[in-house]
Amino acid sequence: MKKVKKNMPRFLTQLFFFALILMISVNKNLIEMGKAGIAFLSSASLHALCPFGGIVSIYQFATVGTFVQKIHQSSFVLMFIVFLMAVLFGPVFCSWVCPLGTFQEWLGKIGRKIFGKKYNKFIPEKADKYLRYLRYVILLWVLYAIGVSGKLIFQEYDPYFALFNFWTSEVTVTSLFILALTVIASIFVERPWCKYACPYGAVLGLTNLLRVFKIKRENTTCISCDACDRACPMNISVSASGVVKNHQCISCMSCTSDQVCPVANTVEMTTTKGGVTL
């Protein structure tokens, strides 16, 4: 089976959404400064396009009927769309759409050039195993803090917001510091924010337990070359799994037979019954 060079469809999708979010952010700031901007993007904002905003507004919307400060109705719509995609295909938002995830991935290419095979293996496996649950602690804190205050407190810490607004007064020193840590860490660890701290990634990661189309390894044709393990940005042992249900899987498809597995139809995204393969 012919390999898709460098997963071009995913790269182009990532590039599109990164450019779109950057354009929306710059356009918004130009308009606020009284300069000419793109008219049809004038009402768009990072808050309106953030599906995590829907999650942090669920409690307030259910009890009061309003949204958390700065969150828009569009965030609810996007939340349902992303959830539907995740239930079907897993956290594709994380690996195909999220601009911060894309940014970390691009930085990781620099780290891979510098460290080679040592890249993404600096954190001891035992420590890494527990650090991966830190993002669930952060998720609970975010939901509690926003539920109590009714304000978008996470903006003060969010590296995603800082990345696309670092030139404005809206960004806090704390979020810039976290962004800087994420940038530095990305040179050593692939997608460090996604692995250890992202509260939205924590939510979407749970869909790996029930998603319709799963990453499946066919044991009868597997030659145990571990190519899938080496390709996985989240350090998941695909070669030790029949069906990948790890909460860290981001559905990037890097481990599949279309990408790195040398044996056709061995690692694929498919239904668990094998009835349909993508």
109 pLDDT above the threshold of 70: yes
CA atoms within 13 A on the CB side of 88: 11
190-242 pLDDT tens trace: 999 999 999 999 999 999 999 999 999 999 999 999 999 999 999 999 999 89
**What's the rounded Cα separation, in Å, for the pair 180 and 162?**
10
45-86 pLDDT tens trace: 676 667 777 666 666 666 666 666 566 677 778 888 999 999
Is residue 216 within 8 Å of residue 270, measured between CB atoms? yes
129 pLDDT above the threshold of 70: yes
The two three-digit tokens of residue 83, written as one number = 């959830």
Residue 75: CB atoms within 10 Å = 22
Is residue 47 within 8 Å of residue 75, measured between CB atoms? yes
Ordered by start, the domain boundaries in the chain are 5-206, 213-271
**What's the rounded Cα separation, in Å, for the pair 120 and 83?**
29
CATH code assigned to 213-271: 3.30.70
Is residue 233 within 8 Å of residue 108, measured between CB atoms? yes
Residue 143: enclosing H or E segment and its boundaries? helix 134-149
What is this structure's pTM?
0.88
- Angle (CA) 74-204-182 rounded to 5° is 90
